[in-house]
Structure 1
Amino acid sequence: MIEKYLEKIPVKELYDDLFKPGMKRAGEALETVLDGANLILLPLKLLNSKSRVYFQKNLNQYSDKLNKAENLNPTQVPQYVGLPIIDKLTYLDENELAETFINLLTKASFEETLSLVHPAYISILNRLSVDEAKILFHFKNQSRIPFIDIYIHRYIENIKKPDFFDKKGVKSKAQIKQMIDYSTQDKQSTSLKAAWNLTGIENQVELLFPKNIDIYIENLELNGLISFERKLHSKSDEVHYDKLINEDYKEVKDKIESSLSEFEKTEFEAELDIRKCFIEFTELGRGFLLACIKEIE
């Protein structure tokens, strides 16, 4: 039934109108894909004026990217890559997320870059938001993203610290024994995570929904693009860490410290433990950046 209806749609005229002069490379690269698209709903979508506007804008951007890579050898885009991307380009507006799909389609259009295209990247792109694409574009040339975690740390002591422990002067035998017993006791170290994954990204990148930054970071990790290093940090990032502690999250730090000072009044002794960490891109993440985020060099 649907096939009979599609036969009445002026598919050739639609495509001829879309592929204007100067878009020869784009038309040749997508020839196999568009033949396959005739069997699905692309021609129907292109009859919708809004979808057609989106598709034309995205197609123009794709064509421009192809034309800039004059030194590469073009190839026809495989259908397993092209069909799902072509469908996306009918409703994605001009933003970073649309560009990720266009970049992947561009890499699939040349013999030299086709090997960069992994089928998993399409499913990952389908699970990313515009803001997450913005984050990836912002950090595409950085090897790591510094961040801090803030813990409340305390030692649980069975023997209370003697009042005379830090005072100068001669100590009695009994006092010396108390000092030794206090110093050599087994102390139980306890840390409570108070704030975490404080990257400052929401202050560096113009996000649509900056309050969702924790969701964005977790989603990038769940999709295998990033991992967290919490035991090591680079000394070269000290300036960045200082900004995170004393500017970006100073208010957060001060509020936690203020709460601790209230606890100390009731003999609950604890201290702030700020840990310097960083996010790094996984092997999958670095491949994703090459295929979907970075331009062809």
Structure 2
Amino acid sequence: MANNEIVGLVKQTPQILTTIYGDLAQPAVKKVGTALETVFEFSTSILLPIKLLNEKFKLNFEKRLNEYKEKLEKVPEDDICEVNPQIGTPLIEKLSYTTNDEIADLFTNLLIKASSTKTVNLAHPSFVQLVERLSVDEARIIKSLKGKDIIPCITFRAHMKEQSKGFYEILKNGTMLQFDIELLFPQNISTYLDNLTSMGVLDISHGLHKMDDNIYNSIYENYGYDKVNENYIKTDQFSRVEKKKSYYQITDFGKTFIHACNSIEK
């Protein structure tokens, strides 16, 4: 491709919607144009028109743009605003090559929040990088945490008969997440929770627990506390298995992130 052709394509960036939809008079497409016009003008930095020459890329981008268009139809026309390029440009870039539907849905929901005067305050630019740091399982966890304040968890410690030897930690911060959510790799749940904690979405540094034992009963049952306790105390080494209660606090930052990445209707 000659250089003058490339320059010509880059100058066509504002016409991206025409490339995808043809008819810009459709009400739903007009909404997309209103929200993303400035974003598309800034998209020359990612050479989007050139990438659209690749058929596979174009199909994926068209799919993501259609998903955004369908969600945007639920936003009243009077509430639609121009998306700030600071968040819109990287979101369009991520969506253009994101092939996993669950990760793409988080990006799309974040773009929807940035497209409405009622929710634009939720669309923090840093959230784009946070979604990029999520695995598919973590995306599922983020969706499951909408409207929640805490994640109850328990730790099992087998105490030695000789107190000077301390205890052996059998289970650390076990939750119900891998039982309640269909995860691809449930054995990685500790890694997922550590990652969400490092991102500032969760916090477990408080050393507290909830007084209501009922919120922990299902965790004891699913991790088989009675059986674990029985197996350990019948040995010569251990006297008892302690149930240590705690919880992951969903931070205010985390709640905003979770809200921003979930669908409006959820």
Q: TM-score range by the shorter chain?
A: 0.7 to 0.9
Deviates more, 1:188-197 or 1:80-89: 188-197
- 1:287 counterpart = 2:256: yes
Identify unmatched segments of 5+ residues in structure 1. Answer: 158-187
Match of 1:117 among 108, 120, 123: 123
1: CA distance between counterparts of 2:76 and 2:2? 40
- The answer to which of 219-228 and 271-280 deviates more is 271-280
2:217 corresponding residue in structure 1: 242
State the identity as a percent.
31
After TM superposition, the runs of 4+ consecutive aligned structure 1 residues lying more than 6 A away are none
User: Which amino acid is the alignment partner of residue 138 of structure 1?
Assistant: S
Q: Which residue of 2 aligns with 1:185?
A: none
CA contact under 8 A between 2:145 and 2:258: conserved in structure 1?
A: no
SS of 2:166 mapped into structure 1: strand
Unaligned runs of 5+ in 2: none
Instruction: Tell me the TM-score normalised to structure 1 length.
Output: 0.78
1:199 aligns with 2:205: no
How many residue pairs get matched?
259
Contact kept, 8 Å, 1:230 with 1:276, in 2: the verdict is: no
Deviation of 1:40 (Å): 2.7
Call closer, same or farther: CA 1:26–1:259 in 2, change over 3 Å: same
* 1:214 corresponds to 2:190: yes
**Distance (whole Å) between structure 1 residues aligned to residue 249 and residue 122 of structure 2:** 20
Shift of 1:290: 2.0
Counterpart Cα distance in 1 of 2:37 and 2:261: 22
Structure 2 contact 38–85 (Cα < 8 Å) conserved: yes
Structure 1 counterpart of 2:223, one-letter code: Y
Structure with a larger share of its residues in helix: 2
Please report how far the alpha carbon of residue 151 of structure 1 lies from its aligned counterpart in structure 2 after TM superposition.
Answer: 0.8
From 227, 238, 248, the equivalent of 1:254 is 227
Change (3 A) 1:81 1:201: same
TM-score, normalised via structure 2 length? 0.86
Alignment match, 1:17:
19
| Alignment-mate amino acid for residue 51 of structure 1 | F
Partner Cα distance (1:260, 1:107) in 2: 54
- Rounded to whole Å, the distance in 2 between the matches of 1:234 and 1:286 is 23
Deviation of the 1:86 alpha carbon: 0.4
Q: Paired residue for 1:164?
A: none
- Is the CA contact (8 Å cut-off) linking 2:80 and 2:117 kept in structure 1? yes
Cα distance, 1:269 vs. partner?
Answer: 4.5
Shift of 1:140: 0.9
Q: In the alignment, which of 136, 139, 153 is matched to residue 130 of structure 1? A: 136
Decide whether the 8 Å contact of 2:13 with 2:43 is kept in 1: no
Note the 1:1-297 alignment, pairs <5 A.
Answer: 4-9=4-9, 11=13, 14-19=16-21, 21=26, 22-70=28-76, 72-93=78-99, 95-154=101-160, 156=162, 190-228=166-204, 229-235=206-212, 238=214, 240-246=215-221, 248-250=222-224, 254-255=227-228, 257-262=230-235, 264=236, 268-295=237-264
Q: Which amino acid aligns with 1:65?
A: K
Which residue type is aligned with residue 218 of structure 1?
D
